């Protein structure tokens, strides 16, 4: 299904080739981060404190969820542009919230277009590009409930998606598009079709390719339901169409010589794992309260340097959950809650009563 709601035409044709300040691109470094959420003062401070000197020749990939308001988005992206030679971005769900500034937009699609326009103005890339010998491909996406293929947890009072996920009221969509079915995931995926010529050129000419999205392409890049405080989370995080798109670019088994990488965000679980020949990385700044809990090991490792010296970082970054799944098989048929989740629901039920 292709839905058209007066979307602007994207830049078509061959991918623009960006120069690297380093000329031969030998020293090109690519950093990644997602979920900046600079509506939180501490997170904005983190961006402001990034060196204005150290990253002058580098690329930064921002995998969505920069800020809820347009003004804070502009402030944040301008700060990043001052610090990095090239900044790449795809919108996340929080970026498309209209609840605080609904009067400025007809709906979240209009906000989406305005964010892309703003990126063009301040020099943030949202189209596929070649930097040195590296192809960088932003992929638009949205989640759909049927992405979740694993057995549900039952017997606990787990809030509905509509109650737990603010997107259901903070985003507004035109008729025909809805958070409750696959329409949004199909709509955003179809936008990537407009870049296929540029993507084909990148496939032909680049040794290494990084694709990136805000949402999650495979369910095994999220902990199993019994480990999650909100066990329905897998229903609002990812897209099968996104994974198909990634495989159409990198190949069913990835490219040769470990040269395929996909960067994502959204769940705030840091991740670094190779699945079927593609390396999948999440490096979220996340919420201040999550960093205080030392979830993801704080903030000092961010932005994460994914690519340097003409290759991807050799070692997988230590991340709690991807490390866990590197030694433990996934057993989603087991629906007995993990102790910390069971404690949470036990306390909750005694409060509810």
Q: Which is nearer to Fe ion, 225 or 266 (CB)?
A: 266
Q: Among the candidate windows 121-129, 157-165, 266-274, 303-311, which touches Fe ion by CB under 5 A?
A: 266-274
Q: Among the candidate windows 60-68, 137-145, 218-226, 227-235, which touches Fe ion by CB under 5 A?
A: 60-68
Q: Which is nearer to Fe ion, 43 or 93 (CB)?
A: 93
Q: Among the candidate windows 121-129, 150-158, 258-266, 326-334, which touches Fe ion by CB under 5 A?
A: 258-266
CA distance 221 to 242: 13
Q: Among the candidate windows 65-73, 202-210, 295-303, 338-346, which touches Fe ion by CB under 5 A?
A: 65-73
**In this structure, what token pair is assigned to residue 306?**
């994914």
> Quick one: which of 266, 268, 279, 291 contacts Fe ion (CB under 5 A)?
266
Per DSSP, helices labelled H in 18-61 are: 41-48
**In this structure, what token pair is assigned to residue 268?**
């705030």
Q: Is 197 exposed, middle or buried (0-12, 13-18, 19+ CB in 10 A)?
A: middle
**In this structure, what token pair is assigned to residue 4?**
């058209």
Per DSSP, helices labelled H in the chain are: 41-48, 70-83, 108-122, 161-164, 167-170, 183-191, 196-205, 240-250, 288-292, 320-327, 339-352
According to the binding rule CB under 5 A, does residue 95 interact with Fe ion?
no
Measure the CA dihedral 271/39/61/294, to 10°: -30
Q: Which is nearer to Fe ion, 58 or 167 (CB)?
A: 167
According to the binding rule CB under 5 A, does residue 38 interact with Fe ion?
no
Q: Among the candidate windows 3-11, 87-95, 223-231, 268-276, which touches Fe ion by CB under 5 A?
A: 87-95
**Sheet strand arrangement including 16-18:** 16-18, 129-131, 134-138, 208-212, 260-264, 278-282, 271-275
DSSP helix/strand/coil, 124: strand
According to the binding rule CB under 5 A, does residue 259 interact with Fe ion?
no
Angle formed by the axes of helices 240-250 and 183-191, nearest 10°? 20
According to the binding rule CB under 5 A, does residue 93 interact with Fe ion?
yes
User: What residue number has its CB nearest to Fe ion?
Assistant: 266
Shortest reach from residue 250's CB to Fe ion, in Å? 23
Q: Among the candidate windows 125-133, 154-162, 182-190, 263-271, which touches Fe ion by CB under 5 A?
A: 263-271
According to the binding rule CB under 5 A, does residue 92 interact with Fe ion?
yes
Measure the CA dihedral 128/129/130/136, to 10°: -50
- Please tell me the count of residues contacting Fe ion according to CB under 5 A: 4
Shortest reach from residue 141's CB to Fe ion, in Å? 11
According to the binding rule CB under 5 A, does residue 239 interact with Fe ion?
no
Q: What share of the chain is helix, strand, coil (3-state, %, to 5)?
A: 35, 15, 45
According to the binding rule CB under 5 A, does residue 39 interact with Fe ion?
no
According to the binding rule CB under 5 A, does residue 65 interact with Fe ion?
yes
Q: Which is nearer to Fe ion, 81 or 166 (CB)?
A: 166
Shortest reach from residue 92's CB to Fe ion, in Å? 4
Q: Which is nearer to Fe ion, 165 or 261 (CB)?
A: 165
Name the site residues for Fe ion (rule: CB under 5 A). Answer: 65, 92-93, 266
């Amino acid at each position: 299904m292709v839905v058209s709601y007066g979307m602007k035409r994207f830049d078509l044709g061959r991918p623009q080739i960006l120069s690297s300040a380093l000329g031969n691109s030998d020293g090109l470094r690519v950093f990644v981060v997602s979920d900046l959420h600079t509506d939180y003062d501490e997170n904005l401070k983190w961006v402001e404190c990034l060196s204005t000197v150290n990253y002058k020749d580098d690329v930064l990939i921002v995998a969505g969820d920069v800020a809820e308001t347009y003004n804070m988005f502009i402030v944040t992206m301008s700060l990043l542009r001052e610090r990095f030679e090239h900044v790449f971005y795809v919108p996340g769900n929080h970026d498309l919230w209209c609840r605080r500034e609904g009067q400025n937009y007809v709906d979240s699609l209009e906000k989406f277009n305005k964010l892309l326009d703003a990126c063009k103005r301040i020099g943030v890339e949202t189209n596929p590009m070649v930097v040195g010998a590296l192809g960088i491909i932003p992929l638009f996406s949205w989640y759909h409930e049927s992405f979740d293929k694993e057995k549900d947890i039952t017997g606990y009072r787990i809030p509905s998606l509509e109650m737990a996920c603010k997107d259901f009221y903070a985003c507004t969509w035109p008729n025909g598009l809805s958070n409750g079915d696959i329409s949004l995931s199909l709509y955003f995926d179809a936008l990537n079709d407009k870049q296929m010529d540029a993507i084909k050129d990148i496939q032909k000419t680049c040794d290494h390719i990084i694709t990136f999205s805000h949402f999650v392409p495979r369910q095994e890049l999220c902990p199993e339901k019994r480990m999650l405080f909100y066990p329905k989370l897998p229903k609002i995080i990812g897209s099968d169409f996104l994974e198909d798109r990634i495989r159409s670019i990198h190949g069913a088994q990835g490219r040769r010589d470990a040269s395929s990488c996909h960067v994502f965000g959204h769940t705030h679980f840091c991740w670094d794992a190779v699945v079927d020949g593609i390396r999948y990385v999440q490096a979220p700044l996340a919420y201040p309260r999550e960093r205080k809990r030392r979830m993801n090991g704080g903030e000092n490792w961010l932005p994460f340097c994914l690519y340097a010296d003409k290759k991807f970082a050799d070692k997988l970054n230590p991340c709690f959950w991807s490390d866990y799944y590197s030694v433990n098989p996934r057993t989603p048929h087991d629906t007995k809650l993990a102790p910390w989740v069971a404690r949470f629901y036990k306390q909750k039920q005694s409060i509810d009563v």
